[in-house]
Structures are given as structure tokens and as C-alpha cells.
A and B are shown apart, each in its own frame.
Chain A
Amino acid sequence: MTTDVGNGAAPGGSPDRTGPGQTEPGRTGTVRKLDRVVIRFAGDSGDGMQLTGDRFTSEAAAFGNDLATQPNFPAEIRAPQGTLPGVSSFQLHFADYDILTPGDRPDVLVAMNPAALKANIDDLPKGGILIVNTDEFTKRNLVKVGYAADPLEDNSLTETYQVHKVAMATLTIGALEDTGLGKKDAERAKNMFALGLLSWMYHRPTEGTERFLREKFAKKPDIAEANVLAFRAGWNYGETTESFAVTYEVAPAKLNQGTYRQITGNTALAYGLVAAGQQSGLPVVLGTYPITPASDILHELSKHKNFGITTLQAEDEIAGIGAALGASYGGALGVTSTSGPGVALKSETIGLAVMTELPLIVIDVQRGGPSTGLPTKTEQADLLQAMFGRNGESPVAIVAPQSPADCFDAAMEAARIALVYRTPVLLLSDGAIANGSEPWLIPELSELPDLGVEFATEPNSPDGETFWPYLRDPETLARPWAVPGTAGLQHRIGGLEKADGTGNISYDPANHDYMVRLRQRKIDGIEVPDVEVDDPSGEARVLVVGWGSSYGPIGAAARRVRKLGLPVAHAHLRHLNPFPKNLGDVLARYDRVVVPEMNLGQLALLLRAKYLVDAISYTKVQGLPFKAEELQDVLADVIKGVSE
């Protein structure tokens, strides 16, 4: 397995795997072999950039590359056309080895209009490939984004980048002349022209895209054909114009054996919930309310009712979690999905679930905060809300996925904890992994954990006569789950403090003290796997600890510093509450502990408080994932400091 990341400095990809130019039968020009490429498609939010990126991703997946993607789009559905706030982009990293992130910077930038150019050009490294749709570079559009002069007319871009000016709209309209389609409709297919051109440049298979377009527009065959024609026109443009002297190949990746598919975080999360329902034998009830960036979980689950899944779009966030908790009380696996603002509204019901000790999964796809914040951008700033954001001592279990595909396992793990320990579990995903995608090694069904539960059926009081709803399993400290309809176990639960054992209302001071500690002890005692440390050389004196979606950038940065001869250990936390039992020992083994987070140091605060470790907190809250190169610098500095 390769443990390297390319530097991405040379045009069209990283230099270290660049092979000698050669020609290929049936193709003209030089073909250069690369180990990895990062492409960013950028345009107006009406230009179909997400679809374009998604199709290129599918082509890369079908070809067998490893890949990672990162969409970036505005909160407005259609911001004013051609403006900076309206720019939508899709970044795709594909490689012939296992990669961890969607890439720091693009090697290739496709800019469909001046706004897209202006918003993205600073990310393109010197010498990078820039492909622009010249048709949109009108005086009006240039003025709209503050260009005094057309940047394509002077030398400023050509001096720095390999610029390809392509009149994509004109060429697309020309290609569709015979279809009888109006100019406006024809022009709309220009994103497929761009996709065709890029597909040619990178030797991508095309059958999948043509099939996809025919299926997507099955009800409008003329539109389907127009898109296929535009796609082919883009391809042929590359082939015939000779303005692209070099094309590039990225060989399939040598991934672990198995069957793969491409998957986004929200889809993987939804599938994990479907699987949890199947593996537990329980119906799943999702009570939820639409919110960015979590709504796709609702959309996905609502398609799979044949698995015994009920989706309930409630009147508000509170009703969503209320319905989920009511369903759990009735013996279903109750789930609610939201983002940070929704968790704030659900807090009181989470507290009720803590008190009634019922299974409940609360999914928080985190986004930039506080308040409405940055709805479509990513952040990890809800950790302390998940941990402490309720009245009273109200402990819950917290798990976090580390990548899009990992959302599947995280959802299964959240279900396991919720069902075994009869507790709410907060699952902290975030915008980056929710919308990002990567290949997923699909598990065999036989590998999935058994989540079967036993409901209470008999009286359990010491005298064997009655049912005590708060008598606990001595190992897990979970209380029995006695669902309505079970004869002889009628009982009442609620938000008032319970007497230990009987569950009757109790205002007894000593009982309250005992129950508060007992609820805490139950969560503290949840069995979670030890955290694993990745330290290939075994010589690291610096440990970097992360959680959630920063796994990719931290992992890539660790590879980079190791390549520079600087050993570093990486531990990534799936479980934020309780922490793995070995975490304290792991932290104590290293001279320095670095904690990068997309917040102002929330995990670092917890680690400092619990383990008295003098963790170095590195934080950034720009609504975007860390770049591997910035973390590389951070880690290298710390490591050098330790070795001096």
C-alpha cells in the first residue's frame, strides 16, 4: 500500500509519478501518466456543476480509481446569476492509490463564468490548468464581480497558469443545431460539454455517463439526446482541436480486495440505519424536520419503507424527536436527524430520553454556527453542545464518523449503544462528509453485528410480583425495555426523578444524588473499542488526535510529515463519550499531543479536563475542511520542536 501523497505541484497532477510522454493507439498527442489529479468544476449555481462533478466521479469510480469529493455550494438555491455568492463548485480527487481527502488545491480548474474564476483562481497553484468558458466573459458579467478588465485579455493568467479558453456555450449550441432545440435549452447542456472535454483529457470511460443521461431524462428524450450530443461534442473538441497537446492517465488504484461503490456520507448514514433496523429486527421510525445539510438522510430513508422504515416529517424539530422517542417507547428504533440549530431545539426531549432511558439516535450533521451560521458549510463546533447542551446532569453517548463511507459503521455503532444501554446517542457527522463521497468497500451481510434486543416480558421486582421499570442489568446498568402491550408490566415513566428500582416519582435527596451518579456511571461504562494509534515507524514522540471528518486531512498530513522523515502518531476518535478506556494511556505516551479541530478547541478542552494533558489545540473555522498542507506545517513545527 502506498503511504504517500503527491505534492500536486506540477501541472495536471503530482510530479513524482509522472511518466514519460507516449502516444496511445487511436488517440493523438502525448499521454502523461499521473498518480493523482484534483479537478474543480466551478460555475453559477444554475450551471449544473454538482451534476457534472458527480458524473466525473462516477466515471472515476467505474474506472477503479480511489477518489474523494467535496461539493461546495451556496445556501441560496439560486443566488443572483453570475455573482460571487452564486458560485457553486465540486472538487474531485482521484488517484491510483488510497487517498484520504478531496485534495487541498485543484490541479485543474474549470471556470464556467467570471464569478467562478474570481472565487476559485486563488486556489489554483502556479502552473495549474485553467479551462474557462469564454462565452460568459461579457462586460456585464465582468463588472458584476468587480473585474475592471477582462482577465482573459491581458497576460495575468497566461503567465501563471496553462489557460485554455473554450467558447463552451457557442460550441454546445453549434453541436445541437440540428436537434431543433431552442438556443436557451441547448446552451444549458454546456456543463456536459465541459464534462466531455475533461473526460477526454483524463481518458475516462464514457458509456456510464451516456447511459445515465438517457435514464435521467427518460421522459424527455430530446433533452437526453441533447446532453449526450453536448457530452460527445466536448470529447471531440479535445480530440480534434489540438489545443490540448497533452492528455493524462490515472491508473486504477490498488485497493483492498472486495466490491466497492461510490457513496456520500448522508447516504451511507441512511443505509446504516436501514441495516440497524434489519440487524435488530426492529422497525425504524425517523421523526425529523428538513434542515441543511441533514435533509438527504430523510430523503434517502423515505425511499426504503420496504425495510419497515417509517419516515415522519414533523411540524418542527421538537415534534420530530418527540415522535422518534414515542416510537422508541413503543418498541421501535427511534431516530431523529438534524443539524446544530435543530439539536438546540431538541435538547429538552434528549433530556427526557436520558431520564426515561429509552433508545434514541440523534443525528447532528454539523454546519457552521452559531445560530443559522453557514448552513451549507462544514464545522465541528457541536461537540460541547452534544456533550453538555442540556439542563442538569444529562449524559449521552456520542459517536462520530470519520469519512463519508464510515457513516455506515457509525450509524450501526450508534444503534448498538442506544439499544444495549437504552440511551440517546448523538451521532456527529458534518457537512464535509455528509455531501462528500468516496469508494466504499461494501460489507458482507454476515459481517454486520447482531443488534437483537430482548424486551421485558415478566415481573422483575424482588418479590416477583410486580414490574420495576428502573431495576437494572448489573453489567450494562440498562433498565428493562417493557413496551406497551406487554401484560402485567404496566408502568409509568416520565421526566420527573425516579426512585431507584421502582421508578416511582421520588424527591428524596439521597435518591436524586444516587440516580444522577448512576445515569453518569451507565454512560461512562459503555463498552467501546480501544482507540488505535497509527505510527508506522513506532518512533513518534508527537501524537495528533482528531475526531470526525478531519480524519482525511490529518491522515494525509501525517503521511506528508513522515515522508519528510518526521515520525508522527495519529489517533482518531470514533467515541467522544465515553472516551476509549486506553485513551489516557495513549495520550501519556507522547511528548506532545496536537488536536486539530474545526472549532475553537472543544475536544482539546475535554482532553485537558479529563486527562490533564497539555494538548496543543490547532483550530480553524472557515467553513471548509483542513488542508493537508497546513496541517503538515503544524505537525512538522511541533515535531521539530520536540526533537530540538
Chain B
Amino acid sequence: MTATELGLPTVGGLVGVPTADEPQKAKDYKSDQEVRWCPGCGDYVVLNAVQSFLPTLGLKRENIVFVSGIGCSSRFPYYMNTYGMHSIHGRAPAIATGLAVARPDLSVWVVTGDGDALSIGGNHLIHTLRRNVNLKILLFNNRIYGLTKGQYSPTSEEGKVTKSTPLGSLDHPFNPVSLALGAEATFVGRAVDSDRAGLTEVLRQAAEHRGSALVEIYQNCPIFNDGAFDVLKDADEAARRIINVVDGQPITFGNGEYSVVREGFGLAVAKSADVSPADVVVHDASDLNLSFALSRLSTQDLQHTVTGVFRNVARTTYDDAARAQVEQAKAAKPADLRALLHGKDTWTVAG
């Protein structure tokens, strides 16, 4: 077996999706369905951010599709005045893959949660990322199962006491960004639900990226895991904890008080005053090792929480390549059904 160079050009994530004739507003993206999340749910914030953000893309609404799995966040498509499918638990990436392969003229978004994407649907997630299907995956991470009323999830911290773990959870949690980078995702970002500007910026870059984009969104569940991300929402705490990375920029935070520097094979946080400016790491979203090391600065205790775009590289997308194979085959050989059915060896019986 030999590899075939498909020779595909690198193009933006939205190339091929028809653009709208008129400017759009956020309300154009609100469906007629009543939103039924619990009061105070972080999902509202994300929904509003997405509805405000989509008009800036200037796409025809009918060419946008939201596909979701099961869980609180997966109700998302019902509230969007686009096409949408609320599918089954964990399978949204698989369904969206078929849709994206069949339809180059669609902007396809997957909405999923920590249980949906990382537990029951973990296999589909990593395979979608490695294939680099042109999908934008919004992973709402609230570190709990909400719709089933409060069991621990694959991102819950060890020892977490929940309905199903009265003596504490035994599971070691996933770091979704590390997982995605391990699967060689071409785009990985993270945002916090309450940071609308930061979330919108990650969404913008994700939309422009051609290929799979995984965006982890820390999202508060006020009923079953309230306050999970509170330390990131207090201004003083956030300044010490949130490290927002920008491609090409030195990685500093806390109004410059802290910097990220190299330490062994990984990274560490230092007081800026203690290090030479030359030692401050400059973010490079094309450097997989750097992206991975950044993801390891974040643990469940949120002592340091990296946000922004960890990784953003161009690689041929699966769906573009799949369509290119079909087009090449069509160009090479006419679709002669009669010839196919007859094959090489026929014989004729006379009447």
C-alpha cells in the first residue's frame, strides 16, 4: 500500500458555505422554541454568545446545522433557528461526520457535554479529531451528569461525592484538551462560559479553521455542581489563575505579574520579576508539544487554567479528501452502469 497525495489546497473552514444576502442579527438565530434549561444554567450564556456570534460569519442560516447527542447541553439545537438534529447519546460526531462528508456546503456544529463526548461517545470523539472532519465541536464541560440528576462524570475530580459516589469518586478525570491533542486534533481551544469575549474569540477562530475544532467550554451547573468554576469568576482569583494564550504572544498573566517558562520537558509558572523576558514562552499554536505542555498546566483544581487557542494547524480534512477521491474517480472513469453490471465475463443465451 502506498500513500496517495491528494494535493488539496488549504482553505478556510467556511469556504463552500453560501453567504447570506442580508446582514443578520442574533434574534435571527433564535428559534420559536421555549428554552428549558434550569434558571442560572451556564448553557444560556453559551447559547446567547453563539447566537450573537453566528451573524458575524454572514452565512445563510439554512446552511448551518447543529447536531447534538444527549444531555442538558444537547438540547441546544432546538433553540437555534438553523437545521438541527438532537441525536442519541455520544453519537453526534459520527452523525455529523456523515453529514459533513455528504455536504460540503454546510457549516456543521456539534454540541456535546462531558458525559456525552468523553464517556459514552469517547471513541467517536477521538476518531473524529484524528480524521480531521470539518466539524466544530462545542464541549460543554460542567463536570457532572445533569440530565440524569447528578452522577459524577469523566471530568469530575477524584473523590467527588455525588449521588452515585456517596463515598467519593474513584475515577481519575480526563483533561479534554490533553485528550484532544493526544488524538492530534488540528484545533483545540478552551473558554469559560462567563467570559463572553474570550468565548467568542475562540469560536471565531474555530469557525475559520478548516477541520475538526474542539472547543472546551467550562460551564456551570447551578443544580448539581454549582460553583465548580467560581474561582475563575472572581476577578482577583481569575487574575492569578487564568492564562489566556494568543498565538505569537509571550504567555504572561495576572496583568503581567506571572509568566510561563520552560521547565524540563514541560512548562511552569514563574513570577515575571524572577525571570528574564527572553525566558518567557511565546505561544506557538502550531507546536504540538508546547500545546500539550500548556494543557498540562491545567488540572481539576483550576490553580492555573489555560484558555484561548492551544493548537491551530492546517491538515487535509477527511471530508475534503473523501469528496476528492469521488471526484477523481468520476474524472477517471465514467459512471457506466451497464458496463459495471456486465463485468468482464458474460455469455449470451439465444432465444
Contact = CB atoms under 8 A, between A and B. Distances in A.
A259 B347 contact: yes
Interface stretch (B93-101, B156-164, B212-220): B93-101
A363 interface: no
A352 B87 contact: yes
A402 B43 CA distance: 53
B348 A306 contact: no
B127 A319 contact: yes
A325 B98 contact: yes
Contacts of A314: 94, 97, 127
B340 A274 contact: yes
Contacts of A318: 91, 94, 124
Nearest to A260: B347
B85 A327 contact: no
B233 interface: no
B87 A323 contact: no
Contact of B326 (A64, A310, A322, A326): A310
A285 B335 contact: no
B337 A445 contact: yes
Contacts of A64: 347, 349
A327 B98 contact: yes
B62 interface: yes
B124 A315 contact: yes
A486 interface: yes
Contacts of A327: 98-99, 101-102
B264 interface: no
Interface of chain A: mostly helix, strand, loop or mixed = mixed
B63 A306 contact: no
Contacts of A488: 62
Given A315-B123, A329-B85, A496-B86, A208 B346 contact: no
Contacts of B91: 318-319, 322, 348-349
Interface in B297-351: 322-323, 325-326, 329-330, 332-335, 337-338, 340-343, 345-351
B105 interface: yes
B67 A326 contact: yes
B296 interface: no
Interface stretch (B76-84, B221-229, B267-275): B76-84
A249 B29 CA distance: 76
Interface in B84-142: 84-89, 91, 93-103, 105-106, 123-124, 127
Interface stretch (A34-42, A77-85, A180-188, A250-258): A250-258
A332 B102 contact: yes
A331 B78 contact: no
Contact of B322 (A312, A484, A496): A312
B57 to A, nearest CB: 16
B65 interface: yes
B83 A61 contact: no
B85 A494 contact: yes
A486 to B, nearest CB: 6
B81 to A, nearest CB: 6
B94 A258 contact: no
A320 B348 CA distance: 40
B97 A495 contact: no
A307 interface: yes
Contacts of B18: 485
A258 B95 CA distance: 43
B345 A61 contact: yes
B165 interface: no
A496 B124 CA distance: 22
Contacts of B343: 261
A505 B78 contact: yes
Nearest to A215: B344
Contact of A331 (B31, B100, B103): B103
A327 B96 CA distance: 8
Contact of B77 (A259, A486, A489, A492): A492
Contact of A285 (B77, B101, B325): B101
Nearest to B99: A326
B62 A262 contact: no
Interface centre among B98, B99, B101, B123, by most A CB within 10 Å?
Answer: B98
A443 B98 contact: no
A191 to B, nearest CB: 20
Contacts of A492: 31, 33, 77-78, 80, 83-86
Most buried by A among B70, B123, B347: B347
A271 interface: yes
26 contacts: A62-B345, A255-B349, A257-B351, A259-B346, A306-B330, A306-B332, A307-B337, A310-B101, A312-B97, A320-B94, A325-B98, A326-B97, A327-B98, A332-B102, A348-B89, A484-B62, A485-B60, A485-B63, A485-B83, A485-B103, A486-B62, A487-B62, A492-B83, A493-B86, A495-B70, A495-B88
For the complex of A and B, list the 10 residue pairs with the smallest distance between their C-beta atoms, beginning with the closest. A326-B98, A494-B86, A322-B94, A323-B98, A257-B351, A305-B329, A326-B95, A319-B94, A315-B127, A326-B99
Interface of A: 58, 61-62, 64, 208, 254-262, 271, 274-275, 278, 283, 285, 287, 304-310, 312, 314-316, 318-320, 322-332, 334, 348-349, 351-352, 356, 442-443, 445, 484-496, 504-505
Given A274-B340, A485-B62, A491-B83, 10 more contacts: A61-B347, A257-B350, A285-B98, A285-B102, A310-B326, A322-B91, A325-B98, A326-B94, A329-B98, A331-B103
